[in-house]
Amino acid sequence: MMNVRDELIESLSHDLEPVSPAPNINATAAVWVLLSAAYVVAMTHLLGPIRPGAFSQLVTEPRFLLESLLGVAAIIWISVAAFRGAIPAALGRTFATAGFVLLSLWLAQYVIGLVNPALEPSTLGKRGYCLFETMAYSLPPILIGLYFIRRLYPLQFTRTSMTLSLAAGMIPALYMQLACMYEPLHILGFHILPGLAMVLVGALAAALWRCLLYTSDAADDLA
């Protein structure tokens, strides 16, 4: 004969459907970064030439290499933080803070570059629409990333969406320093700033998602 506890357990577990476990979140973030970077590189090369000598400067100019490596590290770290943030208790404060420290160190290189640039400033390779390219190339990675993250039902979707959008915006911002002219003020204003602005897109996407979710729930209640 079942007691009250057993009856409660039975009632709670009745008609439950099996669910698939969440994938390895670090691996998922890595795949997202690689696919996003490949997409950005392909689109950048498709729509315009790369600054002559940009890749060789990674070998011959140590500070330029440092800037690029700090950018890569910051993007990867923030991307992992965004995907971890979609799972409750998977993102520690120390890990999240370290990502933004890396981002700050990377961006500080361009601020320092205003008085002591890593490369000789030049208009060589200037692209006419680099600001709009940075923003446009960010959108597909944001949409794909949010589609996956939404399915994990994050508790703080707005924060997660904004973090993912930041990572997505920084990918083309970083590659533009190879594709476009090298001049720190131009990089900050036409590459970095548009990349940072994608955080607002993430906030808007989260608000729209909440609106759609509320509308769907309201429709279910009326049905």
In the predicted structure, residue 1 carries a pLDDT above the cut 70: no
Q: What is the pLDDT of residues 140-167, one digit of tens each?
A: 999 999 988 887 778 888 999 999 999 9
How confident is the model at residue 31, as a pLDDT?
94
How confident is the model at residue 221, as a pLDDT?
47
CB neighbours of 113 closer than 8 A, spacing ≥ 6? Answer: 184, 187
Which strand (E) or helix (H) includes residue 60?
helix 54-60
Q: What is the pLDDT of residues 34-48, one digit of tens each?
A: 999 999 999 999 998
Find tokens 């009745």 and name the residue. 14
How confident is the model at residue 66, as a pLDDT?
94
In the predicted structure, residue 139 carries a pLDDT above the cut 70: yes
How confident is the model at residue 13, as a pLDDT?
63
How confident is the model at residue 154, as a pLDDT?
80
- The helix/strand/coil state of 67 is helix
In the predicted structure, residue 202 carries a pLDDT above the cut 90: yes
The two tokens of residue 45 are 């090369």
More confident residue, 179 or 153: 179
- Which amino acid type is present at position 73? A
In the predicted structure, residue 222 carries a pLDDT above the cut 50: no
- In angstroms, the CA 145 to CA 213 distance is 18
- The helix/strand/coil state of 43 is helix
More confident residue, 65 or 128: 65
How far is the CA of 129 from the CAs of 18, 38, 176, 179, 194, in angstroms? 49, 20, 11, 12, 12
What is the number of helices (H) and of strands (E) in the chain? 9, 0
How confident is the model at residue 211, as a pLDDT?
81
CB neighbours of 69 closer than 8 A, spacing ≥ 6? Answer: none
Tell me the mean pLDDT in the region 52-59: 92
What whole-number percentage of the chain has pLDDT above 90?
Answer: 67
Q: How far is C-alpha 211 from the chain's CA centre?
A: 23
